[in-house]
Amino acid sequence: MTTDAAPPRSTASAAANGTRWTVAAMIVRQFGRLGFAVVLARLLGPTDFGVAAAATVYISLTAVLLEAGLSSSIVQKPDLRPQDEGVTFWTLAAIGLAMAGVTVLFSDQIAAFLEVPDLGPVLIALAASPVLKGVSNVAAAKLQRGLRFRAMAITEIGGTLAGGVLGLVAAELGMRYWALVVQQVGTDLIVLVLWFAAAGLPRIVVDREALRHLRTFGLPLVGAQLIGYSTRNIDNVVVSRFLGQTALSYYTVPYRIMLIPVSLLGNVANRVAFPVFARVQDDPDRVRSVFLRITRVIGLVVLPSMAGIAVLADDFVETVFGAQWLPSAPVVQALAVTGILQSLTTPGGSVFMGLGRADVSFRWAWVPLTFVVPAFFLGLPWGVTGVATAYTIATVLLTPFLVRAIGRVAGFRLGSWVHAVLPAFISTMPAVAAAWVVHIVLHQHEVPAIVTLIAGMGVVLAGYLIFLRMFFPDLFREGLAAARLLTTGKLLRPAPQPGSGE
């Protein structure tokens, strides 16, 4: 049957090797960034870190506009020509320069709007970031299209570690929130050099066909990502504008925790699956099977880990960030649910891009913007916890509609998606309940937070595996093998079909 057919050997082998390297790169990037952020948060404190958090909104915007979108057309196009690379390169370079100019011109106005006076000079310094990102993304797309994930991983690991060290040195030297500028610009510059060392420079060309493809595929994708960015970051603007930069710090730190599973697992799957989906876009059975298998594996890992963090939020925050950050614990609990749902739907982006349906992605992007943004304002009277809770409620309500949109492109029904994640959910709930009891008992005996955190997460893990083994023995084996699946590329193979004997 078509569903059980193996991928072409070269593609499967490259995807397997690429998944290993991508996992390594994502682990270093996400935990490296989180680790550097934790140290910077401790060194700077909530006030100075609030300036850095406001600047992070700007950095995220440049990433959305420049790190995918137009450059993704290089990965997706079936018959890529040198002209396509050249036109995309110079278009992104021009956009980066334009963004830098706009940043310099309006930095003071942005700082005044957010009521963060120190932000203006920081934004001017960070204006170099979109220029560096713009000229480096074509090289990254070339490597991704060629499934050269080892080169991509080495570049990203090197940039993350070197930039993080530069930021810590700057913080130790007393540069306060300027340490973030040193970290970000240093990372972008190092990554730029490494990208082009691996992929080379494109030619200077002007080609109408390349511009037409860039417009028809790339622009809707950029639009979708820009709208998605607005949806995900308007909460930061709302919190900063109406609750202050210290409140923004208490909101941003949990938000970064929420993004760990989204970035680590979802983006690993996306980075490898996107070029694979592009290569097999004419095989709907394979597309459907791969997507559901990726979703199931993500659920097996994300549900117990994020649910455990939610239950043990105060112990987690005190242990990792320090007691001064305890006001952010309720935000961690609220955003953990959002992190789970976004992780489970993140691979949909690779389906839209790989199958050339950026138009669907663009149309869908307006729906969350319409419903989520009003929720932020509705939550304001209850502070940052109210904003986070409103965000989570809106995400829960919209997730079924997003899954149906993905299913219409990938060829599956909502019930298939629910069936893929339900075993992990059923196995997680009793384990989390047991951890909650342990949490209460240990707190009554004034056990240190780090001990409670370790004990509670141990109960979550043990209970989860026990219930998974008890109720879903087949998936128990897949759960234990999740790390191996992620590091060997087998998650990119079709899921075993009922009655296949696998």
The Cα–Cα gap between 373 and 368 comes to 8
Average pLDDT over residues 7-17: 54
Q: pLDDT higher for 58 or 5?
A: 58
Using an 8 Å Cβ cutoff, are 43 and 64 in contact?
no
Question: Mean per-residue pLDDT for 473-486?
Answer: 67
Q: What is the pLDDT of residue 452?
A: 94
Give the side-chain half-sphere CA count within 13 A for 145: 20
pLDDT of 313: 92
Rounded distance, CA 422 to CA 283, Å? 27
| Coil, helix or strand at residue 322 | coil
- Which of 4-18, 156-170, 205-219: highest mean pLDDT? 156-170
The 10 Å Cβ neighbour count of residue 477 is 11
Number of Cβ within a 10 Å radius of residue 206: 10
- Calpha distance 352→356 (Å, rounded): 6
| Helix ranges restricted to H, 200-266 | 208-213, 219-243, 245-261
Q: How far from each other are the two terminal CA atoms of the chain, in whole angstroms?
A: 14
494 vs 412, more confident:
412
**Rounded Cα gap, residues 161 and 194, in angstroms:** 13
Q: Which residue has the tokens 């384990």?
A: 431
Query: Mean per-residue pLDDT for 1-14?
Result: 45
Angle CA(428)–CA(433)–CA(438) in degrees, nearest 5?
125
CA distance 280 to 273: 10
Taking residues 352-379, what's their average pLDDT? Answer: 84
Is the pLDDT at 495 greater than 60, yes or no?
A: no
Model's pTM, two decimal places?
0.70
Residue 440 pLDDT more than 90?
yes
pLDDT value at 47 more than 90:
no
H/E stretch holding 423 reads helix 414-444
| pLDDT band (50, 70, 90) for residue 393 | very high
Enclosing H/E stretch for 52: helix 9-66
Q: Give 149 or 442, the one with higher predicted confidence.
A: 442
- φ/ψ region of 148 (left if φ > 0, alpha if ψ in -120 to 50, else beta) reads beta
**For 455, what's the count of Cα atoms within 13 Å in the CB-facing half-sphere?**
16
pLDDT at 502: 38
489: left (phi over 0), alpha (psi -120 to 50) or beta: left
- The distance between the two most distant Cα atoms of the chain, rounded to a whole number of Å, is 72
Separation CA 201–CA 214 (nearest Å):
19
What pLDDT was estimated at residue 255? 76
Nearest to 55 by CA among 200, 248, 226, 231: 248
391-405 average pLDDT score? 93
Is there a contact between 156 and 63 (Cβ–Cβ < 8 Å)?
no
**pLDDT for residue 16:** 58
Vertex 257: Cα angle to 256 and 260 (nearest 5): 90
DSSP H stretches of helix in 67-81: 72-76
pLDDT above 90: percentage of residues in the chain: 22
Mean pLDDT of the chain, nearest integer? 80
Q: Tell me the mean pLDDT in the region 305-320.
A: 91
